Amino acid sequence: MHNKIEIYTELRKIAYDIIDNIICPVCGISEVVADLWLADIETYVQEDDKQREKILGMIEEKYNLKENELHYVDAYTPLIMIALFLYLRDRKDVPDGS
């Protein structure tokens, strides 16, 4: 089991991986520091449907998601929640939060 700090560290790594390697290149942004609880994909694409779909598609591809696995995640889902979904998706043991 992981403690809260280890889990949060992993979530930050996943979220910043999405920002640094997917969102920034697609949106033409360099070096982002974000409040991961408030930042979402829409913050960066600003109503650009093509960029939004490209980012969601790249997340699906990078994390080997099936097409329907992101059906409840939209552009307004905070990045930390997307990271939590990805983190828990492949885990066999559920963190106890200790």
pLDDT, tens digit (0-9, with 9 covering 90-100), for 65-74? 887 777 778 8
Percentage of residues of the chain with pLDDT beyond 90: 61
pLDDT, tens digit (0-9, with 9 covering 90-100), for 57-67? 999 999 988 87
pLDDT, tens digit (0-9, with 9 covering 90-100), for 2-37? 689 999 999 999 999 999 999 999 999 988 899 999
Global pTM? 0.84
Is residue 42 pLDDT above 50, yes or no? yes
Give the residue among 60, 8, 6 at the shortest CA–CA distance from 37: 8
Secondary-structure breakdown of the chain: helix, strand, coil percentages, each rounded to the nearest 5: 55, 0, 45
Is residue 92 pLDDT above 70, yes or no? no
